[in-house]
Structure 1
């Protein structure tokens, strides 16, 4: 344990924070749009969004490798045009986390927006509010509890992502060694004390995240019940 460094912790928090930011923005946009619009093929697109929930992480990672590898559709273009390599970098870990955690954010946000009473939004429109103002003053505040739940769960999922990250980012000490990676390769090397340390750290982070979410949800429900009295 004397040689232990905290790079995996720092990198995991960095990857989870960046990926959660992207997931929140895009999940918010798509969830609101899909909850208010109906069009041909909507179910197909939504099924595609949720696909990473049911696919093995290695399959997701393989698909990302096809897209972002040097000979991939996106990765090849980035390499030839900007000399940017995605595979085997911390950016690859971010992309993997975005893909696997997006369904959690989308599901939570979609449920939150669909549970909003549409009459409240229409009332704001009849008073002259623009769609942008309706969203930020009515829809977003009412959906916030569900959005926050999705945000927290997405962060926790990004923090613990392993399979897709291994396929796309690989394991490079000091560069792509997130906590799940550090645990796996510590066990492979027979460094059980080191692996146990990182297991305790990530369990504590995940448990704290879920505990805080449960506490906040119950507190919000009590406040809502008191406001209705």
Structure 2
């Protein structure tokens, strides 16, 4: 059995979730803090767009931007000797682009459920907005944010269309588990396909279990706060 697709997928998803987690979290904080409804709607639509676009279309845009003969891709190639398209970095780029909306929407939903009374009380005590975010909003919304991170990790692990467009299907370099399954079926190697499918299914099951766990934690957290506020009255 060839383990390279498994290793490449795990490396790709792990690198992608580090980028996606912080990008999605700070994008969620930024959009949640906007008061203009129209501007908020436009930005939310732009940031969520990769979630509803076909992955191949998202991959096309990535290839158009980061291709070797495109401005951004040419810049990296000329000044840093880094070729983005059809490299392992391209698999990470594709995973980030596709999984970002899931992280963003989960984080935004969790942050918007934080009790505003806590934020107002912190402001009256003289805390800065960043202190409020790190010490109050983030700990309170952490279960929902963690659930979004787990979902984004799984989405990055299972990315196929955008990866095929910008990274290709290069054995030992950019061939992730989904691409390995496709290649195995196309070549008639059903045994390898069955093995890779089983691995994907097991990982997906673990992801669902973790999502349910964090959802339960989030529900308990908000229920506990609701009871506390009623008692205070």
TM range (shorter): over 0.9
Q: Which residue of 2 is the match for residue 204 of structure 1?
A: 202
What's the secondary structure of 2:35's corresponding residue? coil
How big is the shift at 1:219? 4.9
How big is the shift at 1:139? 0.6
Q: Which deviations, in whole Å up to 9, do the C-alpha atoms of 1:131-162 show, x marking residues without a partner?
A: 22111111101111110111010000000000
**Is the 1:66–1:73 Cα contact (8 Å) retained in structure 2?**
no
Q: Which deviations, in whole Å up to 9, do the C-alpha atoms of 1:138-195 show, x marking residues without a partner?
A: 1101111110111010000000000000000001111111100100001111000100
Q: Which residue of 2 is the match for residue 102 of structure 1?
A: 100
Q: Which residue of 2 is the match for residue 112 of structure 1?
A: 110
Q: Which residue of 1 is the match for residue 44 of structure 2?
A: 46
Q: Which residue of 2 is the match for residue 150 of structure 1?
A: 148
Q: Which residue of 2 is the match for residue 10 of structure 1?
A: 7
Distance in 1 (CA, whole Å) between partners of 2:176 and 2:163 is: 9
Q: Which deviations, in whole Å up to 9, do the C-alpha atoms of 1:62-88 show, x marking residues without a partner?
A: 110000101112101111221210111
Distance in 2 (CA, whole Å) between partners of 1:80 and 1:192 is: 43
Aligned residue runs from structure 1 range 13-28, under 5 A: 13-28=10-25
Q: Which residue of 2 is the match for residue 189 of structure 1?
A: 187
Aligned pair 1:36/2:33, yes or no?
yes
Choose 39-48 or 140-149, whichever is displaced more: 39-48
Distance in 2 (CA, whole Å) between partners of 1:153 and 1:53 is: 13
Aligned pair 1:214/2:212, yes or no?
yes
What's the secondary structure of 1:41's corresponding residue? helix
Distance in 2 (CA, whole Å) between partners of 1:219 and 1:114 is: 17
Q: Structure 1 unaligned runs (5+)?
A: none
Q: Which deviations, in whole Å up to 9, do the C-alpha atoms of 1:6-43 show, x marking residues without a partner?
A: 11111111111111111110111110111112346332
CA 1:216–1:44 in 2, change beyond 3 Å: closer, same or farther? closer
Choose 66-75 or 41-50, whichever is displaced more: 41-50
**Is the 2:147–2:210 Cα contact (8 Å) retained in structure 1?**
no
Q: Which residue of 1 is the match for residue 130 of structure 2?
A: 132
**Is the 2:147–2:211 Cα contact (8 Å) retained in structure 1?**
yes
Q: CA RMSD in A?
A: 1.7
Distance in 2 (CA, whole Å) between partners of 1:203 and 1:88 is: 27
Q: Structure 2 unaligned runs (5+)?
A: 229-233
Distance in 2 (CA, whole Å) between partners of 1:220 and 1:111 is: 11
Distance in 2 (CA, whole Å) between partners of 1:182 and 1:72 is: 28
- The TM-score normalised by the length of structure 1 is 0.93
